Amino acid sequence: MTASYHIIGNYLSPYVRKVLVVLETKGLAYTIDPIAPFVGNDRFGELSPLRRIPVLVEGDRVLNDSSVICQYLEERHPQPALYPADLWQRAQARWLEEYADSYLGDVVIWGMFYQKGVKRFLFGEATNDAVVQRARDEQMPIALDYLESQLPADGFLFGEFGIADIAIGSFFRNVAFVRYAVDAARWPKTAAYVERVLARPAFTRLAAFEEPMLRTPIAEQRAVLAGLGAPLAAETLGTNVARRGLMRLE
């Protein structure tokens, strides 16, 4: 199978996950360079002006930003459609994607995952408990209240499984990584919806690569992923594990 697309990004990033779920759902072949979060050599900096992941490479062409990449893949490969046909619903789906990328990104990634995972295990720094507590007790309930008002009791946001579900689900995978469980008594629709979305085949296929990454040192990750049959690219831009400026997980 010839891979048309190459992704630079890590399986633990929700922004990368969005793109991978789109590729998987559309049945598109791809390779991945699973560079460690927040690192990347000079060549990576040239390909990604904001030093963010994911980056999509198609031949000698490069495209940045997870939302832009997902939209491009939809336009290049319209079936199965992941954006609603109705213009107003399509706009609302994009808004919910933006809400996930933006607010859930702040709370889940910077308030939780970065503090409890990346900072401790990648940089050997202490977790800032006040930041984590604020994310868990103040900011996350705001997001859950909002989502509870938007999400359907059954099925997906706009009929078929699509980009808004993919974006929201991608962030809730990282919520699970830090062992935060949505209180189903307080937010019943959201708790059931998240479970439904993450049970989709595209999410479960990726979960097989995500779980081991949570407990594998960076230097051994590629070998472990190869053993699991991940579509690894030969070249990597993430060998330089020295911290080279903060790279946002998007």
Note the residues at the interface with a second copy (CB under 8 A).
49-50, 61, 63-65, 67-69, 71-72, 75-76, 87-88, 90-92, 94-95, 98-99, 102-103, 146
Kindly tell me the burial class for residue 243, based on how many C-beta atoms sit within 10 Å of its own C-beta (0-12, 13-18, 19 or more).
Answer: exposed
Residue with Cβ nearer a second copy (50 or 208): 50
Pairing of strands 61-64, 5-8: unpaired
Name the strand (E) or helix (H) holding 23.
Answer: helix 14-25
- Specify the residue, 65 or 209, whose C-beta has the smaller distance to a second copy: 65
Q: How far is the C-alpha of 114 from the C-alpha of 33, rounded, in Å? A: 21
| Shortest CB 221 distance to a second copy, Å | 28
Cβ atoms 182, 194 nearer than 8 A: yes
In the complex with a second copy, which residue's Cβ is closer, 45 or 152?
45
Instruction: Name the minimum Å distance from CB 131 to a second copy.
Output: 17
Instruction: Tell me the C-alpha distance between 206 and 219, whole Å.
Output: 20
For residue 144, the minimal CB distance to a second copy (Å) is 12
DSSP 103: I
- What is the smallest separation between the CB atom of 43 and a second copy, expressed in angstroms? 16
Task: CB nearer to a second copy: give 21 or 107.
Answer: 107
Token couple for 155: 């099925």
The least CB distance from residue 94 to a second copy, in Å, is: 4
User: Would you say 29 or 50 has its CB closer to a second copy?
Assistant: 50
φ, ψ at 226 (rounded to 5°)? -60, -40
Which among 228, 237, 191, 192 is positioned nearest to 210, based on CA atoms?
Answer: 228
115-120, long-range: CB within 8 Å, 24+ apart, which pairs? 116/178, 117/12, 117/177, 117/178, 117/214, 118/37, 118/38
Helix or strand or coil: residue 136? helix
CB of 201 to a second copy, least distance (A): 27
Nearer to a second copy, 14 or 117 (CB): 14
